[in-house]
């Protein structure tokens, strides 16, 4: 019985140690054939900067539709459109900041 309780505590603490981006984005996207980095590059290509990209992603996550998605039609036909986010405004902003900082290319170019 004690071993089960310890195991459950370790399991729950492992999920709490992940940040909001890892819990809400990485968990779902790891099941898709396109990486979050490739999706980032698509958004960057369409929106061309941090402010516009974050605004576009924020709008899409709140009001997802095929018409405003940056993904290819074949991808959408195969995997569909996500459900509107249930994240709070602060969680969504935190995720967008983490996402931007993780994959931004501007400081990595030499």
Residue 3 scores a pLDDT above 90: no
Residue 37 scores a pLDDT above 90: yes
Dihedral Cα 53, 55, 61, 66, nearest 10 deg: -70
Give the count of beta carbons closer than 10 Å to the beta carbon of residue 52: 13
- Residue 33 burial (10 A CB sphere; 0-12, 13-18, 19+): exposed
Half-sphere exposure of 7 (CA within 13 A, CB side): 4
Banded model confidence at residue 31, pLDDT cuts 50, 70, 90? confident
Contact of 35 with 29, CB cutoff 8 Å: yes
> Which residues 6+ apart lie within 8 Å of 54 measured at CB?
96, 100
Q: pLDDT tens across 42-101, in order?
A: 999 999 899 999 999 999 999 999 999 999 999 999 999 999 999 999 999 999 999 999
Half-sphere exposure of 18 (CA within 13 A, CB side): 13
Domain spans of the chain? Answer: 20-103
């Amino acid at each position: 019985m004690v071993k089960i309780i310890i195991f459950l505590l370790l399991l729950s603490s492992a999920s709490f140690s992940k940040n909001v981006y890892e819990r809400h984005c990485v968990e779902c996207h790891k099941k898709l054939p396109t990486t979050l980095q490739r999706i980032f590059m698509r958004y960057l290509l369409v929106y061309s900067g941090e402010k516009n990209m974050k605004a576009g992603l924020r709008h899409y996550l709140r009001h997802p539709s095929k018409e405003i998605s940056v993904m290819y039609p074949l991808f959408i036909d195969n995997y569909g459109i996500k459900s509107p986010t249930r994240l709070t405004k602060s969680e969504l902003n935190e995720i967008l900041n983490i996402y931007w900082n993780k994959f931004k290319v501007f400081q990595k170019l030499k």
